[in-house]
Amino acid sequence: MADRRKLVVGNWKMNGMKAQLGEVEAIGTLAAAHPGVDVGLCLPATLIAAADAGKGGAFVGAQDCHMKDSGAHTGCLSAAMLAEAGATWTIVGHSERRQDQGESDADIAAKALAARAAGLKVILCVGESLDVRDAGDAEAVVSAQLLASLPDGAAGDWLAIAYEPIWAIGTGRIPTMDAVDAMHRALRDALAGRIGDAAQAVRILYGGSMNGDNAAELLAIADVDGGLVGGASLTAAKFAPIVQAAA
Ligand code: 13P
């Protein structure tokens, strides 16, 4: 098996004010104490610059970027702007943006390329609805979604994938360990079909109700290379057992 460093990333979504910068600092300290794990926080853009100063051993990332460098796109942020603020990673294609903002697979591939051009590393999210899961089509549908949103030049030194079943996000429900195992294998196979052996170096994270109670079991699955964590990343106390489980 390829030697992939575990990557544990908090996604704060639309949470976090300056009052929470102490949690960023505490997570930075936690990250510095676990140098064998890549630890980061994808924050609201308003906190990126301030968080950069106190990030310790963690990296600071964004949650989205625009696919264009600049222009008449009111309210949007370019990858270069986020990089200048201190982000070194960004999420693209989170299911909440696919749903709320109607982002297409092509949009997401374009955003990933724009992020890379600005020097950001990228976490590309994919995942199925409960209907798809119940119909037994999850691996095929999510593999197709991955290939449709995969940017050209995909490689492990700048791109990670996050498998986030939509029905597991914020619900406290997670797939069976066998289902996670099957999905992560399917995604790596799909990647290998597109980029060959380079697929072995691409980290595939699990996301969706990951917490201190289930992280160790999830992270022990061969093709689970880390986690993308929502609610349980908002405080260092909740995030710590997940980072420890990855170490
Ligand atoms: P929760 O960990 O809150 O379920 O969120 C997962 C997620 O969407 C991370 O991007």
- DSSP readout, 122-178? EEEEE---HHHHHHT-HHHHHHHHHHHHPPTT--TTTEEEEE--GGGTTTS----HH
Q: In the chain, which segments carry CATH 3.20.20.70?
A: 124-158+165-225
Which is catalytic among the residues 23, 96, 103, 164? 164
pLDDT at 54: 93
Q: pLDDT for 72-94, tens place per residue?
A: 999 999 999 999 999 999 999 99
pLDDT value of residue 233:
98
Both structure tokens of 139: 């691996």
Mean pLDDT value across the chain: 97
Q: Where are the beta strands (DSSP E) in 65-131?
A: 89-92, 121-126
* Structure confidence at residue 81 (pLDDT): 98
Q: Which residues form ligand 1's pocket by a CB distance below 6 Å? A: 11, 94, 164, 169-170, 207-210, 228-232
25 CB-near residues (< 8 Å, 6+ apart): 54, 55, 56
| 241 C-alpha to ligand 1 centroid (Å) | 16
pLDDT given for residue 11 in this prediction: 98
Question: Using CA atoms, how far apart are residues 132 and 163, in angstroms rounded to an integer?
Answer: 14
Return the closest-CA partner of residue 113 out of 143, 158, 71. 158
Mean pLDDT, residues 27-56 taken together = 97
User: Between the CA of residue 148 and those of 29, 109, 115, 120, what are the distances in Å?
Assistant: 38, 8, 17, 21
139 noted as active-site residue: no
Q: The pTM is what?
A: 0.98
Q: Is the pLDDT of residue 7 over 80?
A: yes
**Using an 8 Å Cβ cutoff, are 227 and 9 in contact?**
yes
Which residue's C-alpha comes closest to atom 2 of ligand 1?
230
Mean pLDDT for 100-125 is 98
Using the predicted structure, report yes or no on whether residue 1 has a pLDDT greater than 60: no
Q: How much distance in Å is there from the Cα of 177 to the middle of ligand 1? A: 17
The CA-CA-CA angle for residues 12, 13, 16, to 5°, reads 55
Q: Given pLDDT bands bounded at 50, 70 and 90, which one contains residue 3?
A: confident
pLDDT, tens only, 155-166: 999 999 999 999
- The closest of 162, 43, 147, 156 to 93, measured between CA atoms, is 162
List pLDDT tens digits, range 15-32: 999 999 999 999 999 999
> In this predicted model, what pLDDT tens digit does every residue of 141-196 receive, in sequence order?
999 999 999 999 999 999 999 999 999 999 999 999 999 999 999 999 999 999 99
Q: What is the DSSP letter of 233?
A: G
Distance 71 CA to ligand 1 centre (A): 31
CATH class as words, domain 124-158+165-225: alpha beta
Rounded Cα distance, 101 and 95, in Å: 10
